[in-house]
Structure 1
Amino acid sequence: MTEFLQQTFQVRFEYKVAFTEHLFAPSNPAFRDFLGAQKSAVARKLLFVLDKGVVAAHPELQQQIRDYADAIEGYKLVPEMMVIEGGEGAKNDIALFDSIVEAVNAYGIDRHSYIVAIGGGSLLDLVGYAAAVSHRGIRLIRIPTTVLSQNDSGIGVKNGINWFGKKNFLGTFAPPVAVFNDYHFLTTLSDADWRSGMSEAVKVALIKDAPFFEWMEANAAKLAKRDMPAMQYLVKRCAELHMQHIAGGDPFEMGSSRPLDFGHWSAHKLETLTNFSIRHGEAVAMGIALDSAYSLVSGRLDEESYHRIIALLQNLGFAITHPLMEINDEHSSVIAGLNEFREHLGGRLTIMLLVAIGKGEEVHELDNGLLQQASALLQQAVAA
């Protein structure tokens, strides 16, 4: 005879994403008010981990943080802020992960204290993973500093590092306690980093919001020329759509359906093949182009919509393909990305394709011959 005990419970997660400017100016109460609302009988510590590139672009930042933190009752800033390399290399360097965990131990950062990560998406992923596994979960505050992290990765629930040469092989689902998007950080981005994050906005518009896609078409020139009001709208709308999706039923991706990964199966592989010399957003733009072309040649998407997608990507300044993205036979390097994507999903391959701008359709296999046709289409578009 077999007996069972069964337990079912739910855990509620809640966090806010703030949109602001000059977060650590004395006159900006947003960060101070958030911490002040977290009641505690004991003083709590703040461990800041900063992207070295952000510190170089904003040399006054560390002193601003110190002055700001001194005025927050009930909190103690640890003696030193950590300043580490950002970019995708941060997720490939296990020594950086170790250094954050060592700092948690050395400074006595407990589960009622906070780690505050300031940087791009790669640094936020790395710090988030370290926070999630230290003491089984330390409270994390994210302050994204790039377009890509403000509109996508920094406002989500995923953390991770690369391992075995694979994107995000190690990671957790652990929501932050708060996110503060400070638009001022965008003003010092390189043109490449400014542009890179816009591909995720194109992606989410293509699968969820046709009017947003049309807005980007109408404002592509402004966005490419670094118009800040246009970028602020893009960041906020994109973040809103991503957050709506997270709350839509499978936030921790227990199934194989991942519509927000439209265009990502080949993008992740391209990043690895180029040793991450191609930015994530740049690779995603190429992945979007490839899957849009496949949607066309497979009879799902009309030709006019396909040309509009390619035109928008190019008008924003993106390349739509790369020599290592070319698919000439079943042995082409990028094809391996399909199997790795299937493995990452944990089961059945599920790829999002387009049936219209603003509407996606999930499929469970891709035909190699059609992939070759789609790749050829993009090469023709580049040559035209």
Structure 2
Amino acid sequence: METIQQRFTVSFSYPVLFTTHLFDPSNPQLRLFFETFPGGDFRRKILFCVDAGVLTAYPELPLQAAEYFRSLPMEYIPEWVVLPGGEAAKNDPALFDAIVDAVDQFGIDRHSFVAAIGGGAVLDLVGYAAAVSHRGVKHIRIPTTVLSQNDSGVGVKNGINFRGKKNFLGTFAPPVAVFNDFAFLATLDDRDWRSGISEAIKVALIKDKVFFEWIEANAEALARREEAPMHYLIHRCAALHIDHIGGGDPFESGSARPLDFGHWAAHKLEYLTDFRIRHGEAVAIGIALDTYYSELSGRLTGDDAQRVIKVLLKLGFDLFHPALGEDDCAHLLNGLREFQEHLGGRLTITLLDAVGKGVEVHEMDDTLIRQSVNRLRSSHLAWA
């Protein structure tokens, strides 16, 4: 019998918009998006899912949104789905069920929209629920943290944690739009303000030496919560992530995940601390660990390694946690195996050959990992 070969290409395109006070009646961005979005002849609805912490800080949001949508040709659902923020959003299957129930109850179909307002974990959860409801409801992301505005919120991945494994269930499903509203950053606590900067350091270290040098020069201003440098950092970091996603393997069909520099240890550390450490804080520790490993393995100079550590410290990151070294690093090393499994069986870790130059390796030496942990531990005692 003759073989029938199927082949087709699907093109994805979505804007990442930078603004302030998205629901202010004088702000046209959201209105222009819906007025120009294809398929306006269909009956369209919009359902909002919101991070509970955001709603506490901005209780007026639902009323503002309701007023904003009065002038738009679509049905606004006044009942918002409220979700806990942080990694807890991705650990409770009942929250996924609540979103799917709302999609069903309010008749949100594939011509309608589910909009998520919150940090990265809430965006991951809502994006996953939207992607699997009706095989794909249109999803809008409105990130509210530094971390989600410069990294996770502008990408194409969605997911929840399952069976004790981070992002075990998930999809590659691009949003139809991302709206980065800088006004939301004003109410972040210092930990969440700082946490997102680690992802900018990560992408600068592996892709853009000039950007890392800019972070070095502006570290103190960022630590003081100056708005202008943070706005630039978010925009530049988002641009680097978007360029990478669109430039090669957006759905990670291969094994490489170069944008996960510092993440293999970070993911495990989050679990080992019951998520008391925020993702960005864990990434900062993971960056420090892999920076020392890069030095100990002969790839990175000692001077460059210290530059990385100094920037992280200047920003206020704590670069060690006792869970790293528990049981002679057995739990941490198990995280490396889990990371390998998540990649499809072939280990691919990004290390540093120089500041601004990442390199992929497929083996990690357990002894050097332990030495890197011990170096972090001893350095931590000296920093304290």
Which bracket does the TM-score occupy, shorter chain normalised?
over 0.9
1:245 has 2:248 as partner: no
Aligned to 1:56: 56
SS at match of 1:252: coil
Contact 2:304-2:354 at 8 Å conserved across structures = yes
Between 95-104 and 41-50, report the one with greater CA deviation: 41-50
Shift of 1:83: 1.5
Shift of 1:71: 1.4
Q: Distance in 1 between matches of 2:64 and 2:13?
A: 28
Deviation track 1:108-166 (CA, whole Å, cap 9, x = no partner) reads: 00100000100000000000000000000000000000000000000000000000111
Aligned to 1:334: 332
Shift of 1:95: 0.3
Between 169-178 and 311-320, report the one with greater CA deviation: 311-320
Q: Distance in 2 between matches of 1:337 and 1:57?
A: 36
Q: Distance in 2 between matches of 1:101 and 1:134?
A: 7
Match of 2:355 among 353, 357, 370: 357
Aligned to 1:171: 170
SS at match of 1:26: coil
Aligned to 2:26: 27
Q: Distance in 1 between matches of 2:219 and 2:326?
A: 29
1:275 has 2:245 as partner: no
Q: Distance in 2 between matches of 1:231 and 1:137?
A: 34
Contact 1:205-1:213 at 8 Å conserved across structures = yes
SS at match of 2:12: coil
Contact 1:90-1:96 at 8 Å conserved across structures = yes
Deviation track 1:190-222 (CA, whole Å, cap 9, x = no partner) reads: 110000111000000000000100000100001
Map 1:135-146 → 2, pairs under 5 A? 135-146=134-145
Contact 2:295-2:302 at 8 Å conserved across structures = yes
Shift of 1:369: 1.1
Identity in percent: 62
Residue identity in the other structure for 2:44: R
Q: Distance in 2 between matches of 1:106 and 1:322?
A: 45
Contact 2:66-2:78 at 8 Å conserved across structures = no
Deviation track 1:304-356 (CA, whole Å, cap 9, x = no partner) reads: 00000000001111111110112774x52111111100010012100000010
Deviation track 1:176-202 (CA, whole Å, cap 9, x = no partner) reads: 000000000000001100001110000
Q: Distance in 2 between matches of 1:20 and 1:199?
A: 22
Residue identity in the other structure for 2:112: S
Structure 1 runs not aligned, ≥5 long: none
Q: Distance in 1 between matches of 2:42 and 2:10?
A: 25
Residue identity in the other structure for 1:43: R
Residue identity in the other structure for 2:55: V
Residue identity in the other structure for 2:194: R
Q: Distance in 2 between matches of 1:27 and 1:251?
A: 35
Shift of 1:27: 0.4
Q: Distance in 2 between matches of 1:295 and 1:327?
A: 22
Aligned to 1:312: 311
SS at match of 2:247: coil
Shift of 1:78: 1.4
Q: Distance in 2 between matches of 1:263 and 1:150?
A: 19
1:85 has 2:84 as partner: yes
SS at match of 2:375: helix
Between 58-67 and 16-25, report the one with greater CA deviation: 58-67
Aligned length: 381
Aligned to 1:112: 111
Q: Distance in 2 between matches of 1:326 and 1:255?
A: 31
Q: Distance in 1 between matches of 2:110 and 2:351?
A: 42
Contact 2:301-2:354 at 8 Å conserved across structures = yes
SS at match of 1:326: helix
SS at match of 1:336: helix
1:189 has 2:184 as partner: no
Query: Would you identify which runs of 4 or more consecutive aligned residues in structure 1 move more than 2 Å?
Result: 326-329
Structure 2 runs not aligned, ≥5 long: none
Map 1:148-159 → 2, pairs under 5 A? 148-159=147-158
Q: Distance in 2 between matches of 1:326 and 1:195?
A: 25
Deviation track 1:17-74 (CA, whole Å, cap 9, x = no partner) reads: 00000000000000010001124223310101111100100121111111001111x2
Contact 1:132-1:172 at 8 Å conserved across structures = yes
Aligned to 2:6: 7
Contact 2:110-2:134 at 8 Å conserved across structures = yes
Contact 1:328-1:372 at 8 Å conserved across structures = no
Residue identity in the other structure for 2:41: A
1:377 has 2:375 as partner: yes
Q: Distance in 2 between matches of 1:366 and 1:382?
A: 23
Contact 1:327-1:372 at 8 Å conserved across structures = no
Residue identity in the other structure for 1:356: A
Contact 1:100-1:127 at 8 Å conserved across structures = yes
Residue identity in the other structure for 1:349: L
Contact 1:112-1:138 at 8 Å conserved across structures = yes
Residue identity in the other structure for 1:22: H
- TM (norm. structure 2) is 0.98
Q: CA RMSD in A?
A: 1.0
Deviation track 1:87-125 (CA, whole Å, cap 9, x = no partner) reads: 100000100000100111100001000001000000000
Contact 2:62-2:78 at 8 Å conserved across structures = no
Aligned to 1:47: 47
Contact 1:152-1:238 at 8 Å conserved across structures = yes
Contact 2:42-2:111 at 8 Å conserved across structures = no
Q: Distance in 2 between matches of 1:123 and 1:60?
A: 20
Aligned to 2:17: 18
Q: Distance in 2 between matches of 1:172 and 1:100?
A: 16
